[in-house]
Each structure stands twice: as C-alpha cells, then as structure tokens.
Amino acid sequence: MFSYLPHTDEEIKQMLADIGVESIDELFADIPEKIQFKDTLQLPKGKSEHEVYSRLEAMAKKNTQGVSFLGAGIYDHIIPSTVGAIMGRTEFATSYTPYQPEISQGVLQAIFEFQTLMNEITSLPVSNASLYDGHTAASEACALAVNSTRKTDTILYSGTIHPYTKEVLTTYFEDLGVKLVELPEKEGVLDAGSVKEYLTPQVAALLVQSPNIYGNLEDYTGIADILHENKSLFIISSNPMSLGVLKSQGEWGADIAIGDTQPFGLPAYYGGPTVGYIAASEKLLRKMPGRIVGQTVDEEGKRAYVLTLQAREQHIKRERATSNICSNQALAALGTTVYLSTVGKKGLEELSAQNMQKAHHLAEKLQKEAGLELLSNQPFFNEFTLKLPSEAAEVADKMEKEGIFAGVVLNKLDPSYPKDLLTVAVTEKRTAEEMEKYVRSIKGALK
C-alpha cells in the first residue's frame, strides 16, 4: 500500500481496458528486452510514515551541535518566526516556476520584492530572482563581466576571497580560455596598490570580497575609478548582514554586487539551500543571468508581474545563452524576503550593529584576557582571525569537547593557509555568557 498512489485495482483494470491493453507490462513493451530491468531494485521495501520518521529522527540524533562561532560564509543567526510560517505555506512551497503568471502572482510579486530588497541592500539598480549560492554567484558575475566587456579574457581576483570561491571559479573557467589571476594580499587585506600593476586591456573585471576570508574589511577607495578607466568592471562580494551599517557595493562604485543571503533568515542546513544574490548596474541588464521578474499590467490594466527579458535565457538562446541557469532558489529567496520585511530598516541596522559589537567584544576579551593576537590590525565586521600560539585544529578539537565550535580552521579550507589561524564568527545570537565561556575554554585549550 502506498499512500501517494490512489489507484484501486478496479480502476487500473478499467483504465487498461480503455487504453486497449491487457496489462501494465504491455505499456513497457517498447523497452528493448535486453535493457528491461527484470530484477528488484536493491533497496529496502516501502515503509510506513511512522517508521520512516523514526529512522530519520535517529539519523538526526547522530548529529551533534555546539555553541557556534563558525562562519566563512554560513552563520548562526536568529530567524524570526514569520520566515518559517510563510516558507511553509503550501501555496509557495508546492508551486512550479511561475510560467503561468495569471495563477502565479504570489511568487512573482514576492520575487519582485526580493529584487527590490537586493537593490536597496547593495545600492545597485538591477537584481535578478536569485542564483544558487554566493560562490556560484561569483562565477556568474565573472561570466557576466567577460560577456559584457569587449575583447577581454582575464579575471583578476583578490587573494583574500573565500578559497572555495577560487576553486569554483577555476572549475567554471578553466575550459573556457578565461585566465584567472590572483592579486596579492597585504596585512590581511587586498594589496590595493597592486591593482594597477595587474591591469591589462584584457581584464574584464576585478573580484574582491569584503568582509574577506579573514573577516577583515577592505578599503576600496579609488579602485572603481582605476578599473573603469581601464574599461574593466568591479565586482564586490559581501556578507549582506554587514551592509546594514557598512558601505554597500554600489557605494564603493562596484558594477556588480554578489554574495549569499544565508544570514537573512535561512538555516545553516549543512551549507544549503542558501541564496546567491546578484545586483548590477543598469547597463548590464541585458546580459544578466537567471530569471528576472518585471512589473506590467493585465488586460484590464491591473498591476501584474511576469518573468521577463527571457530572450537572454537558454530556452530561447539554447547554446548561445551565456548562462545555463533556468531556475532560482525561489523558496529560500522568499525566506530572505520575509526576513528583511520582518526585521525592517531599523531592525537590520540594529542587527548589523550588534554583530559588529559582539564580535569586537569577544576579540577584545581574547586579546586582553587570553593574551591572544589577531592576524592583522584591520577593521572587521562580525568575524576576525586569531593567530594562535599552537595549531588551530587542536585548539578547536579541545573546545569542541566542551560544546563550543570555536571557529573555522583556515588551513582546513585551504592547506596554503598557516596552521595557526582560526577565524571566529560572532553573530547577534551569541550571548555575553557564551563569550565568557569561549574565553575560558580557549585559555584551557592553549595550556
């Protein structure tokens, strides 16, 4: 018995008779004999809902949690109850891509609002309906840059971006004849002085990240002008939570803003689903990857929303399309939309400030009370990197036994980082008490 298969034996008989065949097997007779699968799939037989739930519950219990100071792209933030309530609505969750706008105004309007929110956060005028995650968004942004600048074949990126972003870029571009060139870092930030040295007429764009992999903020004063004089584009990736108080990509003069909205209402969920965001200047609109929703009117002149500018997309362009993306992370993007609507203008400013205040509080305590050093003396948002007197992995292991996920061991992300670096993220969710415990624990671990 299968609860999702409604057919009775009698109905199956009638249907077969109406079709004019004797058996269901006859409907599969067009599969050549030698490639018909005659065995039984080597999987357990079907089970009741209750048995399945118990099995999954047991699996979930095998995972353990600690007080999390982990970041590097995924953070432990407070999620307002409205987010789950709306994302759980079946009208949103169980609908398809809004190809029939007359019966999809709900999801279309929500995407239109998402686009507006991303425009507001990034200070750039054109956003799409979302991309997969922040790392693939970087690839799409670089492809957009190569496709919209003339005779270019080179992407410059800062050595301080997330190492996984570098790896994803390599996978995307290594077979396309696009050169990826890493710019050096200096004292934990991009060596801004090096940008001019690396600029050639072939450079499509410079990709940077702030807060960067160490958590440090980078000063991009003057960079946009240098790039634009060279007809190259400026791409800035940012943790959007920082943009409540910190300078937005548009304000730095970027042409393309990217990142991941996971901090905005999405659970960590072992890394996904999250939402890649992208926003760009007006002139890049026609080359923008992914879905875009536009406002229009219906036959009666009523305001309505619809997927638009589809001439960019692969179902029309096929192999001439510049991106193969034909979906978005719609339901997760809805989560972010509800999150930002709930926390609102003032709430985002407060949350953003609290992240900064708490991270600075812990960093200060670690320096004063535990005698620890930061990797560099740069400004930071909610993440900072400690240069420990011993291997970070060992310290983190010891602290984990006390229920604390101490931070990201950078050497584990990329073996080219020294082994003594630990990047610590502190969100608004961490309490003063948890930070006290952190300080005690790291002191013990370093003894």
Partner 1 sequence: MSAGLQDTLIFERSREGRRGFRVPDLDVPAVDPKNMVGPQFLRVKETSLPEVSEVDVIRHYTRLSKKNYCIDLGFYPLGSCTMKYNPKINEETASMPGFSRLHPLQPQHTVQGILELMYELTQGLCEVTGMSWGTLQPFAGAHGEFTGMKFFKSYFKKRGETKRTKVLVPDSAHGTNPASAHISGFDVVELPSNEKGMVSIDELKKHLDENLAGIMLTNPNTLGIYEEDISEIAALVHEAGGLLYYDGANLNAVMGKSRPGDMGFDVVHLNLHKTFSTPHGGGGPGSGAVMVNKKLEPFLPAPAVRKRGDEYYLDHDIPDSMGRISGFYGNIGVLVRAYTYISTMGSDGLQRASELAVLNANYLKEKLKGRYYLPYDRTCKHEFVFSAQKMKDDYGVTALDVAKALLDFGVHAPTVYFPLVVHESMMIEPTETESKESLDNFIDIMKEIADLAEKDPEKLHEMPLTTPVRRVDQVQAAKHPVLRWQPEE
Per CB under 8 A, which of residues 361..420 are in contact with partner 1? 361, 379, 396-397, 400, 405, 408, 412-413
Cβ nearer to partner 1, comparing 231 with 396: 396
Q: How far is the CB of 397 from partner 1 (least distance, A)?
A: 7
Cβ nearer to partner 1, comparing 231 with 358: 358
149: CB partners within 8 A, 6+ apart: 204, 205, 231, 232, 233
Cβ nearer to partner 1, comparing 228 with 317: 317
Whole-angstrom CA distances from 302 to 295, 296, 305 are 10, 8, 10
Cβ nearer to partner 1, comparing 231 with 276: 276
d(CA 359, CA 425): 7
* Nearest alpha-carbon partner for 258 in 133, 348, 413: 133
Question: Is the CA virtual torsion 228, 231, 232, 234 positive or negative?
Answer: positive
Q: At 199, is the secondary structure helix, strand, or coil?
A: coil
> Of 181-189, 195-203, 224-232, 354-362, which part binds partner 1 (CB under 8 A)?
354-362
Cβ nearer to partner 1, comparing 33 with 151: 33
253 in contact with partner 1 (CB under 8 A): no
Contacting partner 1 within 87-126 (CB under 8 A): 88-98, 100-107, 109-110, 112-113, 115-117, 119-121, 123, 125-126
Q: How far is the CB of 390 from partner 1 (least distance, A)?
A: 18
Cβ nearer to partner 1, comparing 14 with 231: 14
Instruction: Please classify residue 226 by burial: count the beta carbons closer than 10 Å to its beta carbon, then call 0-12 exposed, 13-18 middle and 19+ buried.
Output: middle
Kindly tell me which residue out of 153, 164, 199, 367 binds partner 1, with binding defined by CB under 8 A.
164
Q: For residue 415, give the amino acid letter.
A: P
List strands edge to edge, sheet with 373-374: 373-374, 383-387, 421-425, 408-409
Contacting partner 1 within 207-246 (CB under 8 A): 217, 219, 221, 243-246
Cβ nearer to partner 1, comparing 85 with 181: 85
Cβ nearer to partner 1, comparing 48 with 390: 48
145: CB partners within 8 A, 6+ apart: 152, 155, 204, 205, 232, 233, 235, 255, 256
Q: How far is the CB of 248 from partner 1 (least distance, A)?
A: 6
d(CA 82, CA 429): 17
> Of 75-83, 152-160, 182-190, 437-445, which part binds partner 1 (CB under 8 A)?
75-83
2 in contact with partner 1 (CB under 8 A): yes
Q: What is the CA angle 49-53-57, rounded to 5?
A: 175
Give the strand pairing for 408-409 and 421-425: antiparallel
Kindly tell me which residue out of 209, 232, 322, 385 binds partner 1, with binding defined by CB under 8 A.
322
Q: How far is the CB of 246 from partner 1 (least distance, A)?
A: 6
Question: Is the CA virtual torsion 436, 438, 440, 443 positive or negative?
Answer: negative
63 in contact with partner 1 (CB under 8 A): yes
Binding flags for partner 1, 277-316, as an x/- string (CB under 8 A) = --------x-----xxxxxxxxxx-xxxxx-xxxx-xxxx
Whole-angstrom CA distances from 339 to 83, 91, 234, 246, 305 are 6, 18, 28, 19, 22
Please tell me what DSSP assigns to residue 21: -
Cβ nearer to partner 1, comparing 190 with 201: 190
Cβ nearer to partner 1, comparing 295 with 390: 295
Q: How far is the CB of 217 from partner 1 (least distance, A)?
A: 5
Give the strand pairing for 67-68 and 404-405: parallel
436 in contact with partner 1 (CB under 8 A): no
Q: How far is the CB of 391 from partner 1 (least distance, A)?
A: 15
60 in contact with partner 1 (CB under 8 A): yes
